[in-house]
């Protein structure tokens, strides 16, 4: 079935529109659709970023009956008599070379016939082109061929005057004027299939990408013309989609590796990037997961097994910039030997921040765009960790001072670290939302440089063993001075909270969610 990577995110971007807070359309993965945060290839040496800065995972379709179905909560939710925009990103690995077509998005129920209110966009494996059907455009093909191993943006729009246009990678490929026919029929033909035709029996017709792997991300349907259907060209979005009053549904595919719990983000409190559990290589068979063996608060924590140096958990990096912040978490090491990367954002030599356990001492390393090694902080110590116990650590900034805290006391010999005046801690290569030079080593699955990982950092040959508890990021310095009170209950939200992951969930599960509201 379709699978995805990473769901939760950092820092609220937009509030859900007015309406019932629990309202949601039904999203169901069919076949082997799964989340895929490896950005991208499953095999080979090609390394590709996800298509937008809000993407931490994409949906992977293997072409054997895969699809994601989106069912409206109420009849009429997906019926469009006026303006609309259907848009998404997709990538295919290679051309099948047959006469087959593959479905990218459609409200068509089956292959037996086209109803007057159907629409679909197909990927033609035999000539690398898109084909579209709407009641007004009828069957039309895009003129240009599309390259493999490349993300392509597709948008179908209709404006208030009836102009209807198909845009591919910013260029208008098809257009028709004075279009008036509705798309969708209330109560029957209005469910959407992503990666396959919708079918009431749960089977999938014309799955994407038949015979090889295909990927989709950031699928959004709106009841407005977002790009201007009368334009000859548009600007392709790079920052991902967030909710507004015109969003009808939004599937951003940010779920954990090989998970299939895709969500309609329309009625959720949208945040910036996903939390997920994944791996650097496709050969991984034992991903880290939540465990009830240990828990600081609640019933579970994230278990870092140390059984492989490829598995990791991650979440999007909140740029601390020049202002005050707190990054804090609990961790439970089961050994203090060797060097263990506990927490950090690192991609080979392009390192932002690394919390490194060195023979029992937790040390901090940091750089930014103005240096290539540890030019900001170089191995300053939080303190000595307790083995087989929960340890609380926090990093705070006030003005131009950093303070390191562990288990109630300020580290670094009870001395703040003085920073250069106004130093931007978020200006490193890792924070540019795209791959920077040098890229990951040949054969390494893609890795996003603006994510923090737990248990493993790219470029390190070691991994950590133990448990990781709740983590919180704040826009203020929550602790200062020689001593502080270690939290005795789980983190909760307040006005300064940017991000919370409690690690509380189902034993063996991999759904780690940002609890910030």
Residue 430 has φ and ψ, to the nearest 5°, of -70, -15
Spatial contact of 297 and 504, defined as CB atoms under 8 Å apart: yes
Percentage of the chain surpassing pLDDT 90? 30
Residue 4 has φ and ψ, to the nearest 5°, of -145, 170
DSSP state for residue 441 in the 8-state scheme: P
For 239, other C-beta atoms within 10 Å of its C-beta total 12
**Predicted pLDDT at 423:** 84
**Predicted pLDDT at 388:** 97
Hey, CA dihedral for 309, 315, 321, 325, is it positive or negative?
A: negative
**Predicted pLDDT at 111:** 62
When pLDDT is cut at 50, 70 and 90, the band that residue 317 belongs to is low
Short-list 62, 57, 67, 65, CA closest to 28:
67
Residue 412 has φ and ψ, to the nearest 5°, of 55, 45
**Predicted pLDDT at 306:** 72
Lowest mean pLDDT among 86-95, 228-237, 375-384, 485-494: 86-95
**Predicted pLDDT at 207:** 75
**Predicted pLDDT at 191:** 83
Q: pLDDT tens digit string along 242-293? A: 788 898 888 888 776 666 667 666 644 433 345 666 665 545 556 778 899 9
337 burial via Cβ count (<10 Å: 0-12, 13-18, 19+): exposed
**Predicted pLDDT at 42:** 40
Residue of higher predicted confidence among 282 and 492: 492
Percentage of the chain surpassing pLDDT 70? 68
Q: Which range has highest mean pLDDT (172-181, 258-267, 433-442)?
A: 172-181
Lowest mean pLDDT among 65-79, 176-190, 341-355: 341-355
Give the DSSP H/E element, type plus range, for residue 413: helix 411-414
So what's the architecture of 279-501 in CATH?
A: Sandwich (2.60)
Quote the mean pLDDT of the chain.
76
Question: Domains of the chain: which residue ranges?
Answer: 1-80+92-153+181-218+239-272, 279-501
> pTM for the whole thing?
0.62
């Amino acid at each position: 079935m379709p699978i995805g990577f990473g769901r939760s995110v950092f820092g609220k971007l937009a509030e859900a529109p007015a309406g019932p807070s629990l309202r949601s359309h039904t999203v169901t993965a069919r076949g082997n659709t799964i989340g895929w945060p490896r950005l991208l290839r499953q095999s080979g040496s090609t390394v590709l970023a996800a298509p937008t800065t809000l993407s931490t995972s994409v949906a992977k379709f293997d072409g054997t009956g895969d699809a994601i179905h989106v069912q409206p909560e109420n009849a009429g939710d997906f019926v469009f008599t006026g303006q609309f925009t259907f848009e998404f990103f997709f990538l295919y690995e290679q051309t099948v070379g047959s006469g087959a077509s593959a479905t990218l998005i459609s409200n068509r129920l089956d292959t037996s016939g086209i109803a007057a209110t159907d629409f679909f966009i197909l990927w033609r494996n035999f000539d690398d082109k898109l084909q579209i059907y709407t009641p007004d455009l009828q069957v039309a093909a895009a003129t240009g061929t599309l390259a493999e191993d490349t993300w392509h943006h597709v948008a179908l729009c209709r404006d208030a005057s009836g102009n209807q246009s198909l845009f591919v990678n910013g260029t208008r490929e098809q257009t028709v004027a004075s279009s008036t026919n509705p798309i969708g029929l209330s109560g029957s033909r209005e469910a959407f299939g992503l990666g396959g035709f919708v079918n009431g029996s749960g089977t999938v017709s014309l799955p994407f990408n038949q015979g090889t792997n295909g990927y989709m991300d950031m699928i959004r349907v709106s009841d407005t013309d977002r790009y201007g259907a009368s334009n000859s060209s548009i600007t392709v979005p790079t920052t991902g989609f967030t909710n507004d009053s015109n969003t009808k549904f939004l599937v951003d595919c940010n779920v954990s590796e090989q998970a299939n719990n895709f969500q309609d983000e329309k009625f959720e409190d949208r945040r910036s990037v996903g939390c997920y559990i994944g791996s650097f290589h496709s050969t991984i068979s034992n991903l880290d997961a939540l465990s009830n063996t240990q828990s600081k608060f609640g019933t579970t924590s994230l278990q870092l097994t140390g059984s492989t140096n490829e598995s990791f958990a991650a979440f999007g990096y909140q740029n601390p910039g020049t202002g005050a912040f707190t990054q804090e978490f609990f961790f439970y090491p089961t050994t203090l030997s060797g060097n263990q990367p506990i927490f950090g954002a690192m991609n080979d030599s392009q390192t932002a921040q690394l919390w490194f356990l060195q023979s029992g001492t937790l040390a901090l390393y940091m750089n930014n765009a103005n240096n290539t090694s540890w030019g900001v902080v170089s191995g300053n110590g939080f303190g000595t960790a307790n083995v087989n116990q929960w340890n609380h650590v926090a990093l705070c900034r006030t003005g131009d001072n950093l303070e390191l805290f562990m288990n109630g006391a300020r580290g670094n010999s009870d001395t703040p670290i003085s920073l250069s005046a106004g130093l931007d801690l978020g200006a490193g290569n890792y924070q540019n939302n795209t791959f920077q030079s040098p890229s990951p080593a040949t054969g390494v699955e893609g890795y996003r440089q603006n994510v923090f990982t737990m248990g493993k950092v790219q470029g390190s040959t070691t991994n950590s063993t133990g448990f990781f508890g709740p983590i919180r990021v704040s826009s203020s310095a929550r602790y200062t001075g020689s001593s502080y009170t270690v939290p005795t209950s789980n983190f909760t939200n307040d006005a300064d909270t940017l991000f919370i992951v409690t690690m509380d969930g189902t034993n063996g599960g991999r759904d780690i969610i940002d609890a910030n509201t």
